[in-house]
Each structure stands twice: as C-alpha cells, then as structure tokens.
Amino acid sequence: MNAFDIIKIGSNLLKEKNIISHIIDSEILLSKILKKTREEVLVNLDQKINRKDFLKFKSYLKRRLKNEPVAYILNEKEFWETKFSINKYTLIPRPETEILVEKLLETYKEKKITILDIGTGSGCILISLINSLPQSVGIGIDISKRAVLVAKKNALKHNISNRIKLLNKSLEGIFNKKFDLIVSNPPYIERKDIKNLMDDVKIYEPRIALDGGNDGLDLIKKVIYKSKYILKIKGMLALEIGNEQIKKVSKILIDNNFRIKKVIKDNKNNIRCVFAERKK
C-alpha cells in the first residue's frame, strides 16, 4: 500500500468514531512514523509503505480510536514554533497559551527580568519566554515530580538549562526571592464541569492540572495570595484563566493590592489572560 491508501484507511476509521480531526490525525501519525514532515508526505502520496511502518501506524491508530490525543501518542506537541516533549503527566500545550507568551514577549522585549512559572508542567511557557529573552533567567515549579522531569528534558533540548531552574516544589516553598514576572496557567476548571469535557481531555490529561476546585478558583487564589509577597513592586502577575472568570479574578487581584494592566482575549473572543501589576 502507498501513503494515500494508509491515510485514507486511518481517516475513515477515525471518522466512524466521530473524531473531527480524522484526516489530519491520520496524516500526522503516518508522517511521524516515516520521520518526515506532514507536507513531505502529502506531496509524495504514491510512496510505498513497508509492513513494519504499517503495523506501527495501526498501533498508533488503535490508541487514537480510544480518543487518546495525538500529542500523547507521539509524546510531543508544537508550541511557539518548536516541539516540546510531553507525556501523560503534563498538560498538552494549547494555542491559547501561545497568546499569553506572545503578549508577555511584547511587554518584556529586550529586557532583563527574573521569571517564576507556577505549575510549569512541560515547561513550555517558561522555556519559550527565556528562549526569546536572552538576558533573562527563570524558575519553574511544579508539585508533580514527573512533570518536572519532562520540563528538564525540554530545557536541555532547548539549550537553556543554564538560565532556568526547574523544581519539584509547591508555591508555598518559594519565599526568599523577588521576581519581576510571575506567570501561571493554573487549573481553572470547576470540579463539577470536568465530567463534561471531551474524552481526549478528561480521560487522558492529568486531573491535577485541570481541577480548579468547586469554583474553579482554588489555585488562582493561591497564586495571587502568594504573588503579592514574592513579586517586586510594579512586578507583573500574568494568569491564564477560564471563560467568564475575569470578574471574580479581577476582584481577588484588586483586593490583594494588584492593579489590572491588561486583559487578553483568545481567538473565540473569550478573556483568556489577565496581567496585573503589584502596587506599592
């Protein structure tokens, strides 16, 4: 069989399972097996696929048919124009979070800052920022030891291990430093809503990185409370938040001596990020 036949087989099976991205998923899985870009495969659909590669494709397809995300099957996800290693202990980086990185880089372009990333996961936010801010340094913390191991792997891959520390710590364990920027994409989904998420998310992504407690604000509150003590005066707290949380989050920020500097909408016009400055 050739590449066209195999992609079609995979796409049809995924379509039967109502997987919307059935075509692109089939293309990505095959291109990974062939160690080629998706574009390279698509311009050479007549290429013959050997039995070993076909069997590998079938094993990947079997996992995707159970709704396992492609990113976990391949153990990687593109973020900020580069690939990050991920696994089941880390959230899959999302385009919405790239907006957070983009706006922060606009704010801190060519500046020398110290950054704390709370709940670093794969390290994609911190590493993307440090990569683009060559004079800056940062610390990433996560309560998941296994997530920190993934972040360390990504730091090595991106050659910035000398400018960041990645620690298996809770935010309560950070107390003797002051930062210019604290960034966090904390769990912000209300516990009762987790059951309504897509199977790809609720079955496979780490619950600890999704569950924001009864009101979705448990971790957001903790990050805000802690940040007022470890941010420099006029330092910035940048949070990714859930839909319709901005009013409540803004009140918590203002009550804790922060000034709202900017809110950022995602591609669906939902307020996704809030930047707040620590007042004197």
Of 60-69, 96-105, 171-180, 254-263, which gets the smallest average pLDDT?
171-180
Question: One-letter amino acid identity for 77?
Answer: K
Provide the residue ranges of all domains of the chain, joining segments of one domain with +.
3-66, 76-278
Q: Taking residues 62-70, what's their average pLDDT?
A: 98
Q: Is 119 left (phi over 0), alpha (psi -120 to 50) or beta?
A: left
Per-chain mean pLDDT for the chain: 96
Question: One-letter amino acid identity for 95?
Answer: P
Q: Is 75 left (phi over 0), alpha (psi -120 to 50) or beta?
A: left
pLDDT digits (tens, 9 = 90+) for 154-202: 999 999 999 999 999 998 888 778 999 999 999 999 999 999 999 999 9
C-alpha R_g of the chain: 20
Q: Taking residues 109-136, what's their average pLDDT?
A: 97
Residue range 76-278, CATH number = 3.40.50.150
Quick one: pLDDT band at residue 134, thresholds 50, 70, 90?
Answer: very high
Confidence at residue 206, expressed as pLDDT on a 0 to 100 scale: 95
Q: Taking residues 223-231, what's their average pLDDT?
A: 95
